[in-house]
Structure 1
Amino acid sequence: MSEAATRRAPGTPCWVSLLTGDPTTSRDFYRDLFGWEYQHEQGPTGPHFRAVLDGRDVACIRPMPKSRRCLPSWSPFLASDDADKTAETVRLCGGTVGVGPLGTEGTGRVAVASDPAGAPFGIWQDDTGGGAAADGGPGTVVWNELITYRTSAVEKFYRSVFDLDVEHPERDGERAGSEESDYLTVTARGRIVGGIRGVGSALPRDRGAHWLVYVEVEDTDTVARRATELGGEVLVPPGDSPYGRTARLADREGVPFAVISTER
C-alpha cells in the first residue's frame, strides 16, 4: 500500500484516548455500555488499555500521569505528516505541548498538546494506516466536536497548525450572532472531519474547553438509561437533531461524551 493511501489528511481525527484517574473503573463502564473488549499494552505515553470491538480498534484508556494535574477527559488524536513540525507550530500559534513528540516503535510519532483555549488533543504521525475504525457502526466513535467559549478564539489556530478549512453551516431556527449560531465545521482536503462549537457562558467552569466524542449506538434512549444504571449521568437528555438522535452523557468520573443513533 502506498504512503498516500495509508496516511490520513492532516487534522483528521484518527484515534481517541480517555485520560482517567481510574482506568479499571472506566474500562468496566465503557465495556458494559458499548461492549468494548480490551488489550493491555505499553505505548509511548505509558501503559494503557486498547479498546477493541469485533476485532476493530476503537479507542484507548490510559491512566492520568502522576506528575501532571489535569482533568480526566476524552481527546482525539489528529493526523500529522510530521509530528515534530506540527508540535513546533502548536507552540508558535499559542498552544502548548505537554508530552512528546515520542516514537511509536518505528511506526510514527505522537505528542499530546492543548490549544490556546486549553482543550487537550493529540498529534499522531502514523505511516502504517493504523488508527481507529473509520467506517462507523454501533460502539465506534463517529464524530469529534470541540466545545469552546468562542470559535473565533481557536479557529485560526487549527487552520494554521493543520491547514484545515472551516465553514459556518446554515442551521434552521438559529439567530445570526447568537451563541447557538457559533458553530463551525472543520474540513481536511475537502472532507468534513469535525466541528467547533462556541457555547459562551454555557462553557462548564469546572472543565473549560474540551473535545466531545460521539459514539454511534443503536438506541440513544436505551444507552442513556444504561449509563445512569452504571453510575454515569445524563447531561443533556436524548433529543432529535438533523443528524440523528443524540444525548450528552458523563461517565463515573464525570467525563463528558455523546452518543448518536442514525438510520443506516
Structure 2
Amino acid sequence: MTEARESAGPHARRVPGTPCWVSLMAHGLAATEEFYGELFGWEFRPGPQQLGPYVRALLDGHEVAGMGQLPPDHRLPIAWTPYLAAADVDHTADTVRECGGTVAVGPLDAAEAGRMAIAADPSGAVFGIWQGAAHLGTTLTGVPGTPAWNELITFETESVAKFYETVFGYEKEPVVSADFDYVTLHLEGRPVAGLHGVGHALRDRGPHWQTYFEVTSVEAALRQVADLGGRVLRQTHDSPHGRVATVADPEGAMFSVIENPH
C-alpha cells in the first residue's frame, strides 16, 4: 500500500490500471462538500459538468478527489468510485464488455479533463475508467486527506481477479492465509489495489469498491465523522498497513480512514 502511494506524484506516468482518481456522486452536493471539507480540510472548485453539477476537491491547491450531484430520481447507491487509468478508454470499455462486465456511462469527453466511462465488473462492482489529460488527476499522496488505497469487497477473488487481470494487465499476488481470501493487484512490481473476498458477509450491499483516506488520527477522525452527522460502521482496528476504521457520510457513502505509520 505504502509503495503505491509513494511512487505517485505530479509527474508520474499513469500506467494503465493505476487508480488515478476517486469520485463521489451524492444527492446533496453542498452538504457533502461541507462534510468532507470539515473532515479532510478540502476546498472545492467547479469541474466538468457533463453529468451535472460537479466539483473538484483540493488540498493545499492539489486536486485529490471529485464530487458530483445525482439527479433527484437517481436510485444508485451513494458510493465512492475509483477511476482506473487507461491509455484508450474506448478500447478498455470494449474489453470490459468482452470479459463479462458492463459499461453504464460513456465513454464520453469530460471537457479538458480527458475522457471517461463508468463500468461494472461481472459481479456488479462499479468503477471508472479514465483517459486523463497529463496535468490532471490525483497528484498529492501520502498526506492526511488524500486517497491511500482502493479495495474491492467481493464474494470471492479468483474469478473476478481474472477479469481485472485481462482488462488492465494486473499481476496478482494472493495473501496466503487459510481463512483470508485476499489478492493484491500489482503493476510494474508495485501494489496498486486489493481484492477482498468476504463471501456471504456482503449481505445486501453487493460487491463494491471501497476507498481508504489517510488521516492523522483514526480516533479523532471517528469523533469528527460522528459530530458531522456520519456513522461509524467498523471501529478502529489494526491492519498490516496501520490503524483503520470504516465509516459512512451523512448520505451513507462508505469509506475507510487509515492512520499510516511513517
- With normalisation by structure 2, the TM-score equals 0.91
Alignment of 1:1-264 (within 5 A): 7-65=13-71, 68-105=74-111, 108-170=114-176, 174=177, 176=178, 178=179, 181-205=180-204, 207-264=205-262
1:155 Cα deviation from its structure 2 partner:
0.8
Residue by residue, what CA displacement relative to the aligned partner does 1:113-165 show, whole Å, maximum 9, x if unpaired?
A: 11111111100012414201243200000100011111123111101111111
CA distance in 1, matches of 2:159, 2:25: 25
Q: In structure 2, how many angstroms separate the alpha carbons of the residues matched to 1:108 and 1:88? A: 18
Task: Tell me how far apart the structure 2 counterparts of residues 73 and 150 of structure 1 sit (CA, whole Å).
Answer: 21
CA-CA distance at 1:19 after TM superposition: 1.4
Counterpart residue type for residue 98 of structure 1: A
TM-score, L = length of structure 1: 0.90
For structure 1, the residue ranges without an aligned partner over 5 or more in a row are none
- The size of the alignment, in residue pairs, is 252
Rounded Cα–Cα distance in structure 2 between residues aligned with 1:156 and 1:27: 37
The answer to whether the 8 Å contact 1:6/1:128 transfers is no
Partners of 1:13 and 1:71 in 2: CA distance: 21
How far apart are the structure 2 equivalents of 1:14 and 1:101?
17
- Find the residue that maps to 1:222 and give its secondary structure: helix
Which SS does the other structure have where 1:227 is aligned?
Answer: helix
Cα deviations by residue, 1:66-85 (Å, 9 ceiling, x for unpaired): 56531110010000000000
Would the aligned equivalents of 1:133 and 1:140 in 2 still touch at CA under 8 Å? no
How many angstroms does 1:257 deviate by?
0.2
Q: Distance in 2 between matches of 1:252 and 1:191?
A: 35
SS at match of 1:154: helix
